[in-house]
């Protein structure tokens, strides 16, 4: 695999297409045209935003929005503020969003945006002006039925609130009546049309998948041990919902290291400890983040960084299954090593799809102007996650492929089928 993420997304699509090709024997030319179209985003916008800094000078920031495919619905995807963002990264991430939305069947395509900036170097005022500049630039390219952005790395509910406000103003200045600015962004604060349940959605969605996976693996929750790398939003909520169901969460970690508790820990107490001391690592017995990955546990849950399971350590993984709650924790080189050793991989686009699914619920609530209770949101999330897992498992068995390939086959097929239905591919 190359170090270019967009090239990796294209290579992955080509591998999936070669496995799907047989099912399109009677429509081969259209199938190939659809796959070719999916190799590049529909459009990528790029600009330099000018932002007034606190010292009175104007600074330029490179900004992007990639709209990959909207065959199944509006483009959907976050906006990241990061110094490493580049055109190929947002292209790749928007492609993966197309697959992620297709996995749970929510009616969206894929998009992703980014600004090259280290937000920690900005004052609150500068961050607000940058967010507003980005939203104003995008205002004629997005909309509830066109492209629906959301938070991503280093962007927050507050940033979405500024963006909604600026978007509404920009349209009003152009004399455009925009009846639903709230439906144009998700991940908003609750007071501004956000959804109940969004905070825990990604972690809980992963636990709905875990519940189905253990049945397939012949494990019992109370005897199932789990190691989680990362104890932020995703790691904590995964740990809490798993422990509530009786699973043994034996280890969790943060950037300062991991902690091990024989028999399983109480994640709420571990979080209280982290809040008090700044780290979870000395809550129980200390272990390193590297040791955590190689522990003798049933389920390994990387929920922090990318590329932590690689060619160098894949052969040492002892878990029966990996649930990828973080994005991209397993490198392409590690995949075949894990599969050869019988480790089941539940890929990120399925495992952590609970987040974008509840974002979809937020949008639905904004469009109807009627808001659901926490219980209603969760009860709608559960069947979508379970169905996505079941579909993946059937494809995995039918085609004798690994969990990642099975998930991609289901997702790509869903997008291609709609493109074929819509036609116009020549």
In the list 202, 224, 365, 366, the residue contacting ligand NAD (rule: CB under 6 A) is 202
User: CA-CA distance, 135 to 148, in Å (whole number)?
Assistant: 12
Does position 231 bind ligand NAD by CB under 6 A? yes
Helix, strand, or coil (residue 237) = helix
Distances (CA, A) of 289 to 49, 196, 254, 265, 303: 39, 33, 8, 17, 12
d(CA 304, CA 316): 19
* Span interacting with ligand NAD, options 11-19, 155-163, 206-214, 250-258, rule CB under 6 A: 250-258
The residue number with the shortest CB distance to ligand NAD is 232
- In the range 130-169, which residues lie near ligand NAD by CB under 6 A? none
Query: Would you name the residues annotated as active-site residues?
Result: 112
Residues pairing with 116 in the sheet: 82
147: which 2 tokens?
């492209």
Name which of 34 and 293 has its Cβ closer to ligand NAD: 293
The least CB distance from residue 213 to ligand NAD, in Å, is 18
In the complex, least distance from residue 255 CB atom to ligand NAD, rounded to whole angstroms: 4
Q: What is the footprint of ligand NAD within residues 42-71 (CB under 6 A)? A: none
Number of Cα atoms under 13 Å in the Cβ half of residue 1: 22
Task: Indicate the residue among 131 and 253 with the shorter CB distance to ligand NAD.
Answer: 253
Q: Which of residues 185 and 231 has its CB atom nearest to ligand NAD in the complex?
A: 231
Largest CA distance in the chain: 64
Number of chain positions touching ligand NAD (CB under 6 A): 20
Kindly tell me which of 170 and 234 has the beta carbon lying closer to ligand NAD.
234
Q: Which is nearer to ligand NAD, 49 or 304 (by Cβ)?
A: 304
What angle do helix axes 124-138 and 157-173 make, rounded to 10 degrees?
Answer: 50
User: Which of 2, 23, 118, 255: binder of ligand NAD (CB under 6 A)?
Assistant: 255
Residues 270-289 that bind ligand NAD (CB under 6 A): 289
**Least distance from ligand NAD to the Cβ atom of residue 206, Å:** 9
Q: Which of residues 303-332 bind ligand NAD (CB under 6 A)?
A: 303-305, 325-327
Residues 338 to 357 in contact with ligand NAD, rule: CB under 6 A:
352, 355
User: Which of 95, 145, 117, 2 is closest to 51 using CA atoms?
Assistant: 117
* Residues 187 and 199 sit within 8 Å (Cβ to Cβ): no
Three-state SS annotation for 195-213: CCCHHHHHHHHHHHHHHHH
Query: What minimum distance in Å lies between the beta carbon of 58 and ligand NAD?
Result: 31
The residue among 369, 313, 373 whose CA lies nearest residue 343 is 313
CB of 129 or CB of 188, closer to ligand NAD: 188
Residue 32 to residues 54, 69, 97, 410, Cα–Cα distance (Å): 52, 16, 21, 17
259 sits near ligand NAD (criterion: CB under 6 A): no
| Min dist. Cβ of residue 159 to ligand NAD (A) | 14
Distance in angstroms (rounded) separating the CA atoms of residues 374 and 138: 32
Contacts of 329 (CB under 8 A, 6+ apart): 229, 302, 304, 305, 306, 307, 308, 309, 322, 348
* Residue among 131 and 154 whose Cβ is closer to ligand NAD: 154
- Binding-site string for ligand NAD from residue 211 to residue 230, where x marks contact by CB under 6 A and - marks none: ------------------xx
Binding site for ligand NAD (CB under 6 A): 202, 229-235, 253-255, 289, 303-305, 325-327, 352, 355
């Amino acid at each position: 695999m190359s170090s270019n993420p967009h090239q990796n997304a294209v290579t992955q699509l080509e591998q999936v297409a070669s496995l799907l090709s047989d099912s399109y024997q009677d429509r081969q030319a259209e199938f190939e045209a659809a796959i070719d179209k999916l190799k590049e985003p529909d459009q990528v916008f790029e600009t330099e935003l000018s932002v007034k800094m606190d010292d009175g000078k104007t600074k330029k920031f490179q900004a992007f929005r990639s709209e990959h495919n909207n065959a199944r619905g509006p483009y959907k995807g976050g906006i990241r503020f990061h110094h490493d963002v580049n055109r190929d990264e947002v292209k790749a991430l928007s492609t993966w969003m197309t697959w992620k939305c297709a996995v749970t069947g929510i009616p969206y395509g894929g998009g992703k945006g980014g600004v090259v900036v280290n937000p920690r170097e900005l004052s609150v005022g500068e961050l607000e002006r940058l967010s507003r500049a980005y939203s104003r630039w995008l205002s004629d390219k997005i909309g509830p039925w066109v492209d629906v952005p959301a938070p991503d790395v280093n962007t927050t509910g507050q940033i979405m609130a500024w963006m909604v406000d600026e978007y509404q103003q920009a349209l009003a200045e152009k004399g455009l009546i925009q009846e639903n600015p709230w439906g144009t962004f998700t991940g908003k604060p609750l007071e501004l049309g956000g959804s109940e349940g969004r905070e825990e959605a990604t972690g809980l969605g992963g636990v709905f998948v875990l519940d189905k996976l253990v049945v397939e693996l012949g494990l019992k929750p109370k005897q199932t041990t789990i190691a989680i790398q990362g104890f932020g939003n995703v790691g904590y909520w995964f740990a809490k919902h798993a422990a509530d169901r009786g699973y043994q969460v034996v280890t969790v970690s943060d950037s300062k290291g991991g902690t091990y508790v024989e028999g399983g820990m109480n994640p709420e107490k571990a979080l209280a400890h982290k809040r008090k001391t700044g780290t979870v690592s000395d809550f129980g017995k200390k272990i390193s983040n590297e040791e955590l990955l190689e522990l003798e546990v049933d389920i390994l849950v990387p929920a922090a960084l990318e590329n932590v399971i690689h060619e160098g350590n894949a052969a040492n993984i002892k878990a029966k299954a990996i649930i990828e709650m973080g994005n991209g924790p397993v490198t392409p080189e590690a995949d075949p090593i894990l599969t050869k050793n019988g480790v089941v991989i539940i890929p990120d686009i399925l495992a952590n799809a609970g987040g974008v699914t509840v974002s979809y619920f937020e949008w639905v609530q904004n469009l109807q102007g009627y808001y659901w209770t926490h219980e209603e949101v969760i009860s709608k999330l559960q069947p979508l996650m379970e169905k996505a897992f079941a579909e993946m498992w059937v494809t995995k068995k039918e085609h004798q492929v690994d969990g990642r390939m099975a998930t991609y086959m289901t997702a790509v097929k869903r997008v291609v089928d709609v493109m074929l239905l819509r036609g116009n591919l020549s």
